Amino acid sequence: MIRTDVLVIGAGPAGSTAAKHAALGGCDVILVDKKSEIGAPKRCAEGVSMGGLESLGIKPNPQWITRKIEGVRLVSPNGTSVWLTSEKVELPEAGYILERKVFDKHLAMDAARAGSRIMIKTLARGLQRVDDGYIVDLETMGEEFQIKARIIIAADGPESRVARWAGLKTATKPKDMESAAQFEMVGVEMEDNHCIEFYFGSVAPGGYAWIFPKGDDIANVGLGVLSTRTNKSAYEHLLEFVEDCPATRNAQPVELNIGGDPVGGMPKKLVTDGLMVVGDAAGQVNPLTGGGIISGMTGSMLAGRVAAKAMKDNDTSKERLSEYEKLAYESIGKDINRYLKVKDYMLSLSDDELDSIAEAFKDVEFEKISTTELVKKLVKVSPRALLKLGRLF
């Protein structure tokens, strides 16, 4: 049996960040991932704010940046476009499109350099609680073995099995799980390939479609839908979007990604004795945009630091680990809850109402480009939005 202070299950951005900060705090850390290659296949549109990464102590690296973003294009159901570009509006922080297959490995390497031991192609099969931690059953290349850990950090994505094994109710309700499908495509003909594009309305019921450029004619083209809003799969909606959108009619797919995105917010309980849940497994995703890289890494950084302090205190109880829960709700939970209300409001809008908002936005002066700024302007142009959201923004 292998013994360690902290076992992190799942080596996505959240898991690697948790492992890094637990190791930096002096813990013996093991980071396991079921995949043969960390970062593959990718599970998102790969957009991120550089300010968010810098807040986590990560400096930009051209090895994992494919495109600098200089603006946003919003497209309503009838094709009305609202352009927010750095030429007209302040861009408070640079946005980048990542190469997740490289970025995720970079984070795992950071965790290793901090002292974490990494085990790939290693699947957690189950766990049992013992007096001073957990014994976890794992399998790698057909061989079964066990790890005894004082603390487990569950970073195993949406529908976390690890959290469920520990008795935490973190499962996302079907109405709060976006089904997403995405092509990486070549031959994409964007009007401005330094702007990210969002398409709203019935093109993606319950969500939106996106085009995120990765090069002059290369882009991630995808969408997310809520199954409660459509009888079609996300893939079927994606095929229709690609066929109808002028930018993608002549493009060819080179990669397909399909997955789920939890947009229901964080569950109330993120910890139990000897265990914390982070990242997508903890619903640390902006429910309005579906983005979860920065928020998940922020929560994971906090969990790693709390794990290190708990080990120094020789106290891994639920009460001691609840510090992470409090910090997570303070740092990211409040914003997630605000954007939940915005998401619910957006779901109530018809295509005609979205077209009207887009028309009104064309006459609005934006001070800067950010999600919060967009919501503030929405409140100004829509009496209904003012009624629903005015107190929040």
Q: What are the start-end ranges of the H helices in 59-124?
A: 100-113
Residue 166: HSE in the Cβ half-sphere, 13 Å Cα cutoff:
27
- Determine if residue 129 is labeled as part of a ligand binding site: no
Token pair, residue 151, equals 């603390």
Closest CA to 282 of 324, 317, 318, 323: 324
- Determine if residue 27 is labeled as part of a ligand binding site: no
- Determine if residue 14 is labeled as part of a ligand binding site: yes
Distance of alpha carbon 358 from its chain centroid, rounded?
26
- Determine if residue 371 is labeled as part of a ligand binding site: yes
Spatial separation of the C-alpha atoms in residues 45 and 96, rounded to whole Å = 11
- Determine if residue 219 is labeled as part of a ligand binding site: no
- Determine if residue 251 is labeled as part of a ligand binding site: no
- Determine if residue 100 is labeled as part of a ligand binding site: yes
Residue with tokens 């990494």: 118
- Determine if residue 209 is labeled as part of a ligand binding site: no
- Determine if residue 33 is labeled as part of a ligand binding site: yes
Q: What are the start-end ranges of the H helices in the chain?
A: 13-24, 50-55, 100-113, 161-165, 234-244, 293-313, 318-328, 334-347, 351-361, 371-381, 383-389
Count of residues for the chain?
A: 393
Q: Is 290 left (phi over 0), alpha (psi -120 to 50) or beta?
A: left
Cβ neighbours around 61 below 10 Å, total: 12
* Annotated binding residues: 14, 33, 44-45, 47, 100, 124, 280, 292-293, 371
* Annotated binding residues for FAD: 14, 33, 44-45, 47, 100, 124, 280, 292-293
